[in-house]
Amino acid sequence: MTLLIRGGRLIDPSQEIDAAFDVLIADGVVAAIGERLEPPAGAEVVEAAGRVVTPGLIDMHVHLREPGQEYKETIRTGTMAAAAGGFTAVACMANTKPVNDERSVTEFIVAEAARHGFARVHPIGAVSKGLAGDELAEIGEMVGAGAVGFSDDGKPVRHPGLMLRALQYSQHFGVPIIQHAQDMELSGDGVMHEGVWSTRLGLPGIPGLAEDLNVARDLLLLEESGGRYHVAHLSTARCLELVRQAKHRGLAATCEVSPHHLLLTDRAVAEGEFSTHLKMNPPLRAESDRQALLAGLADGSVDVIASDHAPHHVDEKDQQFSAAPFGIVGLETTVSLVLDRLVGPGLISLSRAVELLSCAPARVLGLPTGTLKVGAPGDVTLLDLEQAITVDPSRFRSKGRNTPFGGWTLRGAPAGTVIGGRPIRLA
């Protein structure tokens, strides 16, 4: 199949391009970029005038729930949500049932994603068998089946010896270890950020120190072992400073932040009258933390924006705040939130936003995508910067409706995706 995307504004930070270029994709890869390319005979033409053309966006932190919790999400609904949200690829966490800690589960996820074809799916394998934190999972076997990183996300890798071995062993395969940073003793039974608002509301808190302490330990282990270390959904100012300093020391440390930690604080729990759609882990932090994360976006300390898409059934969230599970959905809100609340007011440039959502996650996970260089996979996202939307969870493709952004009016939205030169069309 040959596809010409014509007349758009191409933004590709991997090539420092921001110009009116056409993109020609043939046999699944980028064949040419340039001005006023002529479509080859038989080529399909996508008119992109007035739209931004970027390398396919990648959400490197989602929970697809399948196998085992299909009532929350399936690979089909999750990848449809990804396509609707402008993502051509997602990386899915290992806390499925059974846990993705062996080759057969990884192979199932890859095959199921290929069967539906709405987005590429890159499995993240478990660091430890059963997420139990005792014994290293079969990392090599899972890499052979398609895993691109390893994490016990949902839980931290608590034992320092296991983290050390994971960092050492993963070097044989060139894959990152992704940490859900949380000292469980310090966080205890907390349900929101420990601070003035948890005190006023009478809810047990999770101190920022619980995240900071875990990352500080891991960075020492990284310095000892080598390897690649990535902090998932980083949420505190001090944790970001630790990662920043590690980078300056030359360590292979990276981090991601989620839109909700960039746009909301713990005050929202009070203003939201204990809405469980404001309960996530790590929790919404203080305004000083939020400001530090925004500064990290601008100065390059933050590598990636990822949604931490975590769908739950409505009945699970329809409980008291303290009893409801952690997590919100994000695949279908992230791009518009970034465009409206970060790019719109000038906190980051549009090119930086594309880097955070495409080039950088590809780099962290070692993917060949995240670029539109000639010869790269023909994965493309189209953006409409002028389209105004109102977030309506009832229209989500995801089975999850658990978002704190329902009713928000945003300017800027995904306008389409292309995978390997194939336009994705949702019924």
Query: In 73-159, which ranges are continuous DSSP H helix?
Result: 75-84, 103-116, 139-145
Query: What's at 18, amino acid-wise?
Result: D
Q: How far apart are the first and last CA of the chain?
A: 21
| Amino acid letter for position 156 | P
* Phi, psi values for residue 362, rounded to 5°: -60, -40
- CB-hemisphere CA count at 13 Å for 155? 18
Integer Cα distance of 191 and 211 in angstroms: 14
Residue with tokens 């310095």: 223
Q: Where are the alpha helices (DSSP H) in 159-275?
A: 160-170, 184-187, 196-201, 208-225, 237-248, 259-263, 267-271
Q: Phi, psi (5° rounding) for residue 288?
A: -65, -35
- Read off φ and ψ for residue 349, nearest 5 degrees: -80, 165
The answer to whether the CB of 381 falls within 8 A of the CB of 88 is: yes
d(CA 220, CA 246) in angstroms, rounded, equals 9
What count of residues does the chain have?
427
Token pair belonging to 27: 């046999």
Structure tokens at 59: 């959400």
Phi first, then psi, for residue 148 (nearest 5°) are -115, 0
* CA separation for the pair 212, 264 (Å, rounded): 20
Token pair recorded at residue 168: 């050492």
Out of 59, 183, 266, 308, which one is annotated catalytic? 308
Burial of 394 (0-12, 13-18, 19+ CB in 10 A): exposed
Cα dihedral 322, 323, 326, 331, rounded to 10, equals -120
Contact 227, 177 (CB under 8 A): yes
308 among known catalytic residues = yes
Give ∠ CA 185-187-192 in degrees, rounded to 5: 170
Catalytic residues: 308
